[in-house]
Copies of this chain bind each other. A is one copy, B any other.
Amino acid sequence: MIIRPIKSEGLAHLSYLIGDGSKAAVIDPRRDCSCYLEMARAAGMEITHIFETHRNEDLISGAPILAGLTGARVLHGPNPARPVQYAQTARDGDCFAIGGDLTITAMETPGHTDDHLAYVIHDKGYPDGAVGVFTGDALFVGDVGRTDFYPERAEEVAGLLFDSLGKLLALGDQAIVYPAHGAGSVCGSGMASREFSTIGHERRNSPKLKITDRDAFIAAKLAETHYIPPYFATMERLNVEGADAMPRVTAPGVLNLADLDQLAPDWMIDIRSVTAFAGAHLPNALAIPVSMIPAFAGWFLDEDSRLILIADDMAQAQEAAVHLGRIGFDQILGTVTNMVGLAAKGRSFQSLPLVDAKTVSQRLDQRPEEWVLLDVRAQDEVEAEPMDGAEHIYIGHLRERFRSLDVTRHYTLMCASGARATVAAGWLQAHGFTKLDIFLGSMGAWKAFVAGSAS
């Protein structure tokens, strides 16, 4: 019996191939799903079942695509908001034999979503107790799933999750936990960086699991702040209807200067690093460094946005295209990979100054009238470590709220490190703000500066 996690970086999404050596199942496959079939066949296994723990809201499910490649059955939980068109319904206790030794049993675990299932792993040769459990978005290492998707039923679904976690704990301390997300996901805020744990270790250590009172748990969940980026709606639709496969070749086409002028994209996305964007970028380009695409592209782009990527090199552009494809942004017109070369052909460029803690400190002291320190961190970060003197707009809300800002003022953008601040600055610059700079190091640098000044 083998189990292989397949991680999608950025989304921190974990899918799994599990099999007994002859037959195999895939749990929560992603859109670029040939890899599961290749891994299974290389190991001499046929994929017979595809299990979805819930209708994913943050990425495109590869289940219908992989089913098309393999003929495998797709199983999904009951009670989805809309029926999943490519799946059969699995219910609590339904047991699926994967080859001769392995069984997978569905366990209804609503709360994160109404249709949520965990899948319990048993080994027929060693049958006393579960070997492990695919916990989907109900239980993560160090955290539990978010329960903010039904705002009108907030208390109810938090309670449902409490009950579901009880069912998971009842599997016994020995059961290994295989969650659908690892650290960095937007599907939970307190995940451990560790991706291996057991029911027993979580029971003893996970902060939310230590809350044994149902009402206290509900209260704790209701006190959380989560954000819902607009692209989630697209994911939900596609994961009901079934999305198309990824392109066979994911590397974007290469554009020259003439292409760049003619193609009229909705957005040029500059996927280079924060400092590279700050140094020089094309006018009107948005900054979304490649590793930030999974978490932030969905806040700023529309489903059908026609995009050009500004990249350091083709490998980076290809990685970006894969990230974008996994969350449904397929309209990539091409890429340019040589910022210096563009300048040397006479293309104009812009910069964004990077400022340090000392500069910010001086400005805070002097309080120039037109100056604003704008903090784009999430609400819980701001509450945990407030930045005195800063205004706050969450980066994801900038698209709808930037018009409330005064284009004539001077904004210094900050976040925890300067990365999200750069994305924000890029957005503002592309919308007519001209007096912008970025606090590089941001809250981290500020704390070091304060500590240094104090000592």
Contacts and interface: CB of A to CB of B under 8 A. Distances in A.
Contacts of A132: 196
A147 interface: no
A172 interface: yes
Contacts of A125: 142, 192
Interface in A1-50: 1-3, 20-22, 34, 37-38, 41-42, 44-46
Q: Which of A22, A196, A277, A337 is most buried by chain B, counting CB atoms within 10 A of its CB?
A: A196
Contact of A276 (B3, B248, B272, B448): B272
A339 B273 contact: yes
Contacts of A274: 279, 339-340
A45 B341 CA distance: 16
B127 A205 contact: yes
A199 interface: yes
Contacts of A199: 174
Quickly give the copy total for this chain: 4
A200 interface: yes
A158 interface: no
B196 A176 contact: yes
A215 B256 CA distance: 44
Sorted nearest first, the 5 A-B pairs with minimum C-beta distance are A346-B448, A174-B200, A344-B444, A343-B441, A279-B279
15 contacts: A2-B194, A41-B249, A41-B253, A123-B205, A131-B201, A173-B198, A174-B199, A174-B201, A176-B198, A272-B273, A272-B276, A273-B312, A275-B279, A343-B417, A347-B441
Interface of A: 1-3, 20-22, 34, 37-38, 41-42, 44-46, 69, 101, 123, 125-129, 131-132, 142, 172-176, 192-201, 203-206, 245, 248-249, 251-254, 256, 272-281, 312, 314-315, 318, 337, 339-341, 343-349, 351, 353-354, 356-357, 416-419, 440-445, 447-449, 451-452
